[in-house]
Amino acid sequence: MNKYMMKAMKVAEENLKTNHGGPFGACIIKDGEVVATSSNHVLKNNDPTAHAEIETIREACKKLNTYDLSGCELYTTCYPCPMCLSAILWANIKKVYYGNTKDDAASIGFRDDFIYNYIQKSQDSSILELIALDREQTIKTFQSFSEKQDKTIY
Amino acid sequence: MNKYMMKAMKVAEENLKTNHGGPFGACIIKDGEVVATSSNHVLKNNDPTAHAEIETIREACKKLNTYDLSGCELYTTCYPCPMCLSAILWANIKKVYYGNTKDDAASIGFRDDFIYNYIQKSQDSSILELIALDREQTIKTFQSFSEKQDKTIY
């Protein structure tokens, strides 16, 4: 078994005892060195965004003192949900190794596949309603930003 | 202008001066009361996941002492990126009001639309490579989880 995936799996297994969150773990490496490893902490932290991949990205960014993880690779015990997959793209990670599949996650009761379906296909308003409001006001902040000299795009 | 959207826009505008992150803000309400308001903190926190919606969800969960924001509504100055949209679904928020559009975000240089395109359509491996690995091992953690008596699904 790959040694980085083994680290990710070890923290996922700890969650079976600690109940810190779902049975998921992740590990980020750079140049063959482990930068960060974390399990899912949704239950412990009362944070629905504290998936293993997100927690590991946050920890790696803290260690490397950057919001840009270019050159890093991520190992995760399960195919990333759309939230984590997007976080991986925002972080500029370009290679992800995953163990279990979306179907495996669905079969133990998690909504990864349901959320993929909403985003990729249905956008069913009975699940989530998205309502346009006050753009004529909010667009002013974007206009000010585009005229700003000292801006950083991430 | 809607008063909750105005609160979200106010913190978005503060970012133009503080450079804490992109020009985005969000506000979560429950039963007409404001629970949490936050701007984007990607730059200040060195955290690529610290979008306004995610920061606001985290703060609301902390205040309400839960990972489940059922009954809450979210106001955001820009249409949520796929990371934030998924976080909203994980948090069980069912109504979102947004100001600016994905196209507006693209026009000031942000990758929201690019990430939607990856997830909804291309899954282009030159952007991000997803590689299956060691499922015969990682599936064991899921099997143990499914046999576990005291489990919580979120």
In tens, the pLDDT along A110-144 reads 999 999 999 998 889 999 999 999 999 999 999 99
Is A131's CB within 8 Å of B96's CB?
yes
Closest alpha carbon within chain B to A100:
B135
Q: pLDDT (tens digit, 0 to 9) for every residue of chain A, 154 residues total?
A: 999 999 999 999 999 999 999 999 999 999 999 999 999 999 999 999 999 999 999 999 999 999 999 999 999 999 999 999 999 999 999 999 999 999 999 999 999 999 999 999 888 999 999 999 999 999 999 999 999 999 999 9
* Interface-testing mutation among B17, B44, B49, with chain A (most A C-beta atoms within 10 A): B49
Query: Rounded to the nearest 10 degrees, how much is the dihedral formed by the CA atoms of A12, A17, A18, A20?
Result: 40
Closest alpha carbon within chain B to A62:
B46
| Percent of chain A residues topping a pLDDT of 90 | 97
Catalytic (active site) residue B14: no
- In the block, which residue shows the tokens 């934030």? B84
Q: Which of A81, A83, A108 sits opposite B145 (nearest CB)?
A: A108
Q: Tokens for B111, please give them.
A: 């990758």
The CA distances from residue B72 to A5, B26, B38, in Å, are: 37, 13, 15
The CA distances from residue A128 to A59, B42, B74, in Å, are: 31, 26, 11
pLDDT in the model for residue A87: 98
pTM: 0.97
Distance of CA B29 to the CA centre of its chain: 16
Buried b (16+ CB within 10 A) or exposed e, B22-44: bbbbbbbbbeeeebbbbbbbbbe
With a CB-CB cutoff of 8 Å, which residues 31-90 of chain A face chain B?
A: 42-43, 45-49, 54, 57-58, 61-62, 65-69, 75, 77-79, 81-83, 85-90
A3 touches chain B (CB under 8 A): no
- A26 touches A53 (CB < 8 A): yes
Q: CA B154, CA B152: separation in Å to the nearest integer?
A: 6
Q: pLDDT (tens digit, 0 to 9) for every residue of chain B, 154 residues total?
A: 999 999 999 999 999 999 999 999 999 999 999 999 999 999 999 999 999 999 999 999 999 999 999 999 999 999 999 999 999 999 999 999 999 999 999 999 999 999 999 999 888 999 999 999 999 999 999 999 999 998 999 9
- A18 touches A62 (CB < 8 A): no
pLDDT in the model for residue B57: 98
pLDDT in the model for residue A25: 98
Q: How many helices (H) and strands (E) does chain A have?
A: 7, 5
pLDDT in the model for residue A122: 80
All residues of chain B having their beta carbon less than 8 Å from the beta carbon of residue A81 are: 86, 90
Q: CA A24, CA A11: separation in Å to the nearest integer?
A: 8
Q: How far apart are the first and last CA of chain B?
A: 35
Is B145's CB within 8 Å of A54's CB?
no
Residues with Cβ within 8 Å of A88's Cβ and at least 6 positions away in sequence, in order, are A53, A57, A74, A80, A96, B128
Q: How far apart are the first and last CA of chain A?
A: 35
Closest alpha carbon within chain B to A141:
B13
Q: Among candidates A37, A40, A46, which has minimal Cα distance to A81?
A: A40
